[in-house]
């Protein structure tokens, strides 16, 4: 079972959660700013980002749009924000339209409780398959 964690983070919150999920999953969290495309097939791709003025970063949207079902078995989403979970919904819509399976279960952390969610994010990375 090959897992990978990819994220886009402007302020560091999603990065912290991505790193916790990655620790649980036993892999490295990689920013899509550093690696704009997957290099090899993964069974489970954890993909996360945040909303900025109601929309996800264009880099993350492009990443999801460029992903193909030949590159991933399925995607598991995560997001951080002040209130909105729309990043999850928007990513799910893009990915499903491409025929990429997306878990209904996703991980959410409020921006004011990132540290308080680290242990749960590690568990999330461990358990989801």
Ligand X SMILES: Cc1cc2nc3c(=O)[nH]c(=O)nc-3n(C[C@H](O)[C@H](O)[C@H](O)COP(=O)(O)O)c2cc1C
Kindly state whether residue 9 participates in binding ligand X, applying the rule CB under 6 A. Answer: yes
Closer CB to ligand X, 51 or 125, in the complex:
51
Q: What is the DSSP letter of 23?
A: H
Nearest to 73 by CA among 31, 37, 49, 103: 103
Residue with tokens 């078995």: 73
Residue with tokens 């568990």: 123
Kindly state whether residue 125 participates in binding ligand X, applying the rule CB under 6 A. Answer: no
- Only one of the segments 12-20, 22-30, 39-47, 98-106 lies at the binding site for ligand X (rule: CB under 6 A); that segment is 12-20
- Only one of the segments 37-45, 59-67, 76-84, 89-97 lies at the binding site for ligand X (rule: CB under 6 A); that segment is 76-84
Name the minimum Å distance from CB 6 to ligand X.
13
Nearest to 79 by CA among 51, 53, 101: 51
Q: Which two tokens stand for residue 110?
A: 């409020």
Closer CB to ligand X, 56 or 72, in the complex:
56
Closer CB to ligand X, 13 or 122, in the complex:
13
Closer CB to ligand X, 111 or 119, in the complex:
111
Measure the CA–CA gap between 45 and 20, rounded to whole angstroms.
14
Measure the CA–CA gap between 122 and 126, rounded to whole angstroms.
6
Name the minimum Å distance from CB 17 to ligand X.
8
Nearest to 25 by CA among 49, 8, 48, 51: 48
Kindly state whether residue 111 participates in binding ligand X, applying the rule CB under 6 A. Answer: yes
What is the contact surface with ligand X in residues (CB under 6 A)?
9-15, 50-54, 80-84, 111
């Amino acid at each position: 079972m090959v897992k990978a964690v990819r994220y886009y983070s402007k302020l560091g919150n999603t990065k912290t959660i991505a790193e916790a999920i990655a620790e649980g999953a036993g892999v490295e969290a990689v920013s899509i700013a550093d690696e704009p495309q997957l290099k090899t097939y993964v069974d489970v791709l954890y993909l996360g980002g945040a909303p900025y003025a109601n929309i996800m970063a264009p880099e993350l949207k492009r990443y999801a749009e460029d992903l193909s079902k030949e590159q991933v078995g399925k995607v598991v989403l995560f997001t951080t924000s002040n209130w909105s979970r729309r990043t999850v919904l928007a990513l799910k819509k893009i990915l499903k339209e491409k025929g990429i399976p997306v878990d209904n279960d996703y991980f959410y952390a409020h921006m004011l409780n990132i540290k308080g969610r680290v242990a749960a994010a590690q568990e999330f990375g461990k358990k989801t398959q």
